[in-house]
């Protein structure tokens, strides 16, 4: 197949004509060409693509370089940064050429290498593209790109994403105590679970309410989060999960399996499901296992139900203890430790907890008759309450 072009840059012609008007009708009597001039035409071949039935050549996949991955790559796929989590997109890039024929690029997406179960073969229309798309999250996704020439001879390359993230970072703030009589100290555990890696720096604050605007008492300050370690006191799949908590997690259920004889079997099922399984609920009586993609926090909660126990996954998330000292805490005030976390895609989430109520007064016994003494003092902790009294302060609040 080829295309030729003939181009005439300039053509001039001088003509003379005479017309007769008869009852409104124009009749040409004479029309003569007195002079004409034409620049020589230009002829050129635009392209020639020979169609050879016996062409055995295979399209050549060219290498491209990216500043995110070391070395040349023949297929590059990335999730686009700084887009809303509800409007995700991916970019795909591959270069190919054939010395004889035109090259057409197509791609498919699957949950396994070479698979098309997520998206069937689609033409790229160029060497790179950006596609807004809702794709499964929490599992590896594989892009297969095919470069085919006019003879339908093709070359395939693959690239993949470990996860395609369309959810905000999840987690919670577990305050060290729901009630405290300490005059200057607050503590909380920050627990984060997330498909994508988190940025290095995050922010913490203390306020009179939970959430984004809870920074009235202590303003936003930079903080870092540590990866949650595995449990050392157990073996098997349960070492990847926290100690059980009473109750069933009221949240989205990824899948349900029964009967599973032990919670260890349920833990193994969660590990095999992928990184989006971050907790599970197990009922001992019915041997029912529910897998979840959330933990108890702002968007999910525990509810006592039968013999259900809830386990949070370790290792893939973050678990950090935050402590504030020398705070002028006031009696009767509830304080909330709030945390802002951001992942590498730019998704921002605010983690909240139930807060800590500060109480400097002892229980009121009611009317006491014929009392011989009644006073307050900063006393040491008795053995019977040592689990609730970890530090003796100078505040006189033991009656």
Across the chain, mean pLDDT equals 83
- Residues 372-382 have pLDDT tens digits of 777 777 666 65
Q: Which fold has domain 236-312?
A: Hepatocyte Growth Factor (3.50.4)
pLDDT of 61 reads 72
- Residues 318-363 have pLDDT tens digits of 888 888 999 999 999 999 999 999 999 999 999 988 899 998 887 7
- Residues 48-66 have pLDDT tens digits of 655 555 556 676 777 665 4
Q: Is the whole model's pTM more than 0.75, yes or no?
A: no
The proportion of the chain whose per-residue pLDDT surpasses 70, expressed as a percent, equals 86
Count of CB atoms situated within 10 Å of the CB of 243: 11
pLDDT of 59 reads 67
pLDDT, average across residues 22-30? 76
The residues of the chain that CATH labels 3.50.4.10 are 236-312
- Residues 91-142 have pLDDT tens digits of 998 887 766 667 888 999 999 988 999 999 999 888 889 999 999 888 889 9
Q: Which fold has domain 60-161?
A: Immunoglobulin-like (2.60.40)
pLDDT, average across residues 22-44? 77
- Residues 222-259 have pLDDT tens digits of 999 888 777 777 888 898 888 888 899 998 899 999 88
The residues of the chain that CATH labels 2.60.40.10 are 60-161
Q: How far apart are CA 249 and CA 252, in angstroms?
A: 9
pLDDT of 47 reads 61
């Amino acid at each position: 197949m080829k295309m030729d072009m003939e181009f005439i840059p300039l053509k001039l012609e001088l003509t003379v004509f005479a017309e007769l008007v008869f009852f409104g009708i124009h009749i040409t009597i004479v029309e003569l060409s007195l002079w004409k001039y034409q620049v020589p035409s230009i002829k050129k071949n635009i392209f020639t693509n020979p169609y050879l039935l016996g062409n055995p050549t295979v399209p050549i996949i060219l290498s491209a370089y990216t500043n995110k991955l070391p070395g040349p790559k023949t297929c590059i796929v990335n999730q686009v940064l700084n887009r809303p989590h509800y409007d995700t997109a991916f970019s795909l890039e591959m270069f190919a050429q054939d010395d004889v024929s035109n090259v057409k690029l197509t791609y498919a997406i699957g949950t396994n290498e070479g698979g098309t179960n997520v998206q069937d073969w689609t033409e790229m229309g160029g060497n790179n593209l950006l596609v807004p798309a809702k794709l499964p999250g929490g599992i590896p996704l594989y892009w297969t790109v095919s470069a085919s020439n006019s003879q339908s001879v093709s070359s395939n390359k693959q690239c993949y994403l470990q996860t395609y993230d369309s959810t905000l970072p999840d987690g919670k703030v577990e305050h060290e105590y729901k009630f405290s009589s300490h005059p200057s100290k607050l503590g909380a555990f920050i627990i984060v679970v997330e498909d994508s890696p988190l940025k290095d720096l995050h922010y913490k604050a203390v306020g009179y309410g939970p959430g984004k605007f809870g920074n009235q008492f202590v303003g936003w300050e930079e903080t870092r989060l540590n990866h949650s370690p595995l449990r050392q006191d157990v073996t098997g799949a349960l070492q990847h999960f926290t100690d059980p908590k009473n109750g069933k997690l009221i949240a989205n259920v990824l899948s349900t399996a029964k009967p599973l004889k032990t919670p260890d079997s349920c833990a193994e099922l969660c590990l095999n499901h992928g990184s989006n399984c971050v907790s599970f609920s197990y009922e001992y009586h019915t041997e029912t296992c529910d897998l979840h993609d959330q933990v108890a926090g702002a968007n999910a909660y525990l509810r006592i139900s039968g013999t259900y126990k809830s386990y949070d996954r370790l290792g893939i998330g973050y678990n950090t203890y935050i402590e504030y000292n020398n705070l002028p805490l006031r009696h009767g005030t509830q304080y909330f430790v709030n945390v802002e976390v951001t992942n590498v895609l730019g998704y921002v989430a605010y983690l909240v907890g139930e807060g800590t109520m500060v109480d400097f007064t002892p229980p009121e016994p009611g009317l006491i008759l014929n009392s011989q003494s009644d006073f307050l003092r900063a006393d040491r902790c008795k053995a019977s309450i040592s689990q609730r009294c970890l530090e003796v302060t100078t505040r006189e609040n033991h009656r």
